[in-house]
Amino acid sequence: MSNKDTVLDTFNKAGKPLKAGEVAEATGIDKAEVSKIIKALKTEGSLVSPKNCFYETAK
């Protein structure tokens, strides 16, 4: 499983908006890498930001 898949899976399982730091802690992936992945997933439309610095899967 790629880091991108791992991050997306973490958001799917959380069921609530998460910050990049929370995802990094849960996955063991470096926070800077998580931030890059979140940016890419937002561009794709897979993630949305319900409030500043928090992200969740698009519904």
pLDDT tens, position by position, 14-23: 989 999 999 9
Nearest to 28 by CA among 49, 48, 1: 1
Give the confidence band of 4 by pLDDT, cuts at 50, 70, 90.
very high
**pLDDT at site 59:** 81
pTM of the model: 0.92
Run of H or E including 59: none
d(Cα 51, Cα 26) in Å, to the nearest integer? 20
Domains and CATH numbers, the chain: 3-57 (1.10.10.10)
